[in-house]
Structure formats: structure tokens, C-alpha cells
Amino acid sequence: MANLAIDSIKERTFDAIVIGSGASGSWAAKEFTEKGLKTLLLERGRNVEHVKDYPTTNLYPYEFEHRLEMPYEDKQKNPIANRCYNYREDSKHFFVKDDEHPYIQVKDFDWIRGYQVGGKSLLWARQVQRWSDFDFEGPARDGFSVDWPIRYKDIAPWYSYVERFVGVSGNNDGIPELPDGEHLPAFPLNAVEDHFSKSVAKHYKNRHVISARCAHLSKPNPIHIEQGRVQCQNRVLCQRGCPFGGYYSANAVTIPWAQKTGNLTLRPHSVVHSILYDETKGKATGVKVIDANTKEEMEFFAKVIFVNASALNTNLILLNSISNRFPQGLGNDNGLMGKYVAFHNYTATIGAEYDGLLQYRTDGRNPAGGGYIPRFRNVYRQETDFLRGWAAGFGAGRAEIRDTSGVGSALKEGMLNAKLGTWRVHSHMMAETIPKEENFVSLDADQKDAWGIPLLRISIDYDENDRKMRQDYYEQMTEMYEKAGFTNIQTRDDNRRPGNDIHEMGGVRMGHDPKTSLLNKWHQLHACQNVFVTDGACMTSTSTQNPTLTYMAFTARAANYAIDEMKKGNL
């Protein structure tokens, strides 16, 4: 019996455990397995194998029962998921349904989740931009949150490392606040996007409209072919999973790469209850897992644990990791864990028309979606009555207008003989929000989920700074539109709830000082150094960039640090 027990523990012991198999977790798994570490990758949802488990990927619109529309009953049952732009008949199987995984909305919050192998990397918008020191120095300069313990020079080589592997299409635009990268050719702007770009460059110093940088293979390099991927085919049906591997997902790229090493154990249906802490050793020894289906409890052990469960779930797991040493959650000596959660403010859009350049139209589809306007507000100095600023997406296109006013053969002809409409332009705001102590998540004292894990309470809201920024976005964009000759300019409040941006961040922030932060500059919990957090939970501030590229770069850097420290015997 004794031997059996020892064998069993041996089988459940790894060099490294990674919790969560999305973009950041799968990057940790890739780094560890590539460098020879036996790695356990835990995922609470089901397995999704590249191509094989993309059931809708090659369906035509008429093959969907409701032509991609969500039925009324589903909308009633899942109001949260249905408010996500990406939740449709072709992608619904990659989203968490509201009633399956409840949480407590102290304030309105749409928590959009993808519980499966690959996580939300199957569903993301694939927009990737680097941070610069204008972002990392933000909190210190403007006096909010705490100073980031790292700067651009620390992460720049890791951005390059990640970009080369995942494939990023974009130009090197030479903009200090949006550093250049290791790019594949950009998806170019169209005629009117170009026109706007030139107009903005002519009228404003330090404002730019560039080709959006996206994690698509415009022109694959040998490394991408080696991953089994080919050139993006401009389907723009990415939310179904891409059979070409045209964009980066954990499923298409990092997980199969880690599997090829022979060092990966991928365990789906594994709900992490908590991280195990050994007081005598002064470090974490493993994780307690509940099998999602059988509810069986089990333990796995490793020298190093990476928590990449997605920002709020990472908070949940750490807060639920209670021991004598850490009664408020693992590493939570200062009581700040779960606090200073922030997100991106997407509550404004602006549309207009342009009646020039009618000799052109677009043909095919642009996976990058068009243009990107990096933050220009308060970059070099504070110049407004609000803190920080906003970036924006920008796109132009001409609709095919089908006349449906008639009846009979007139209707038929009207529909079949489309007329090309004038150019329509559209922009949406992506604004930084300021992390605050009163925007927090915590564990409910009584209510538990089906696996016996406390429900998460979420209390997050917009503030005055967010509203001022929205006004500024309208004013500045309207002026820029007018200068470009756009007409019929329409601003529109997008009254989405916090969380609907799917960029929730923070709660386990990085910082120099253990008194005011949870993680050090290597993403280790100050008070439990073999536990690393490299997903959205680690964010000290949010800036305006789409965050996933930064999580992947953070993860690669931290994983390689952990490997070095293990080699030195320090972990």
C-alpha cells in the first residue's frame, strides 16, 4: 500500500503546474515544456482540439438554423453572454452560459468567459499593440495605483519573442508611444481609411491613424509553417476557430507546440479549488483540483505554479487559497488582493459618411478590421481635466444596399440588384480606466458553486473620469472627422456594462513594495515566490492597448525567469 501511495504521488508530481490554458497559460506551458520541464496544464473546461473541435468552421450562413441569430429563449436564459458581440449561433459553444457558472453582481458587470482548452483565445479580437514607457510610467507620473516595477526595456525583447512566434501583421510606424515590433506585412488601409490617415497627419502633430496590428499570418514565416499554420485566408470567421490557423489561438499554436515536446500533460475538466501552501517549507506545493464531472477531489504537486485562470478567476483561486499563514488568501498579507480591478471603457462610438473616393470600393475582407488610432491624449504631458486617454479603432466601408421596399418582382429585383452605397466610417473608443480600491472582487461568505467553491462578488463601475473621457473622444473625433470632410457625423453612447469589454484586469497587481502590491517585478507573489501570476490579474494599470500581447510577453519572460531560478535551486 505504501508503495502505491508513493507511486500515486509521483504520478501527480510535475516540475510545473499551469492553471488555465488560454493565451497566457499556454505560453507558460510552451516555455516550460520546450525547456524540458514536465508540465501539467489544467483547464476547467472541456478539450477543444484544433480543427477537429471547430464544428461550425466551414458552415455557410444558410446552414445555421437561425442564420446566426440567437433564439429568444437563449437570450432570456443567457442575457450576459448574449450581450457579447461575438456570441452567435456559430460561436455559442465557446462561451460560458449564465446559469452554468453564476457570480454575484454587486454592481452590473458582464463577465464573459470561455471555459475550454484555449479559453478565450478562440474568441479574441486579435488586436495586438505593444506598451511603451508612456504606459508603464503612467501611474507614477499621474499619481494613481502604484509604480509598475518594470519598464519597456524589460519587456521589449519578450514582445519580439512572442510576436515572432505568434505572427503579428502590422507596419513599423515609428511612433514612440506605440513601439514598433517584429511584424509580418500589414493589412493595408483602404481608400477612405488612408484618406483619414493622411488628413489627420496633415492637421495634427502626434496623432496617427495606422493599419491595425493583428495576430494574423498575412505572410507566414517558416516557424509558422512548422506550427502547421498557413496564410490567413481573410474569412474573418475567427470566432468559429480557424482551420488554417490563420490567427493566433492557444489551440492552433502554443498548446500543440507544447504537446509535441512530450513534456505536457493537459488535463481538461479540472476545476482548481485552491493552491496548497506548506508552512514549514514556506512555499506552495501544488494545487487542489475538483474534477468538473465526477466532483472527485485530487491534488497535484509541482515546484512552480503559474496562475493564468483569466483575471477574475485568478483572483478567485488565490483568495480561496486559505492557510494558517494566509487567512485572507495566498500572498494577501496587505489585504489588497481583489482590489484595484480595472478594465477598458468602450462606451462610445462615432459614425459618419464620406461622399468622396467613390471610384473605389473594398473587395474581400480585412482581418485587421481597418485602422487604429494610438492614444494621443496626455501622452507627453497632462493636458486635459481627466487622467490618461483613449485609443480608437477606425474603419471605412461601402455597404451594398438592397431595396426591400416593393412587393413581387419589384422586391426580387430590388434585392438582387444591389447598389453600392456611399462610404460609411466608424470608430469605437478604447479608454484607460483608473484602478481604484472600490472597484473590487471578493468571495461570498455563504454561496458556493456546484464544485463547492465560493461565488465571486463583483463590484466594479465607471466613474467621472470615464465620462469626461467619452466627451473628449466625441469632441476630438468629431473635429478630426470634419477636417477629413466626413458628413452626417453621429456620436453614440454605447451603454455597455463594465466587463463587456472583456478586458478586466488587476486585483493581484505588480509593484515594488509588498505593502502596496501583491506581485514583484518577476510576477512572483511577494510572500510566496514559487507562485506566479501573468494573466490580466497582474496589471497595475490598464493603459489603452488590447492586453493579450502583453500577457503573452509577461508570461514568456516570467516563465524563463522561473526556469533559470529552478536551475539555480532558488525555487
Measured between alpha carbons, how far is 246 from 230 in angstroms, rounded to an integer? 6
Alpha carbons within 13 angstroms on the beta-carbon side of residue 140 total 12
What is Dmax (Cα atoms) for the chain?
A: 84
Helices (H), 119-221: 133-136, 138-142, 152-166, 191-203
Kind and range of the H or E element at 313? helix 311-319
* Closest distance to other proteins from the beta carbon of 360 (Å): 5
Measured between alpha carbons, how far is 238 from 488 in angstroms, rounded to an integer? 32
* Closest distance to other proteins from the beta carbon of 280 (Å): 60
* Closest distance to other proteins from the beta carbon of 89 (Å): 10
Sign of the C-alpha dihedral, residues 54, 57, 63, 69? positive
For 42, the grid coordinates are 489544467
For 40, the grid coordinates are 501539467
Q: Which of 68, 18, 318, 354 is nearest to 194 (CA)?
A: 354
Q: Which residues bind other proteins (CB under 8 A)?
A: 58, 60-62, 65-67, 69-73, 187-191, 193-194, 233-235, 237, 358-367, 398, 402, 404, 407-409, 411-412, 415-416, 418, 420
Residue type, 62: Y
DSSP symbol at 212: P
State whether residue 6 is helix, strand or coil. helix
Residue type, 538: C
E-strand ranges in 418-527 read 419-432, 440-448, 454-459, 487-493, 505-507, 524-525
**What values do phi and psi take at 569, rounded to 5?**
80, 15
SS (HEC) of 245-298: CCECCHHHHHHHHHHHCCCEEEECCEEEEEEEEECCCCEEEEEEEEECCCCCEE
Measured between alpha carbons, how far is 386 from 406 in angstroms, rounded to an integer? 51
Measured between alpha carbons, how far is 341 from 460 in angstroms, rounded to an integer? 8
Q: Looking at beta carbons only, is 143 or 408 nearer to other proteins? A: 408
Separation of first and last alpha carbons in the chain:
31
Alpha carbons within 13 angstroms on the beta-carbon side of residue 181 total 35
Measured between alpha carbons, how far is 338 from 303 in angstroms, rounded to an integer? 25
Kind and range of the H or E element at 483? helix 464-483
Strands 297-307, 528-533: pairing is parallel
The packing angle between helices 191-203 and 464-483, to 10°, is 100
Measured between alpha carbons, how far is 295 from 191 in angstroms, rounded to an integer? 57
DSSP symbol at 406: S
For 303, the grid coordinates are 515546484
Q: Looking at beta carbons only, is 414 or 454 nearer to other proteins? A: 414
State whether residue 300 is helix, strand or coil. strand
Angle at 561 between CA 559 and CA 565, to 5 degrees: 115
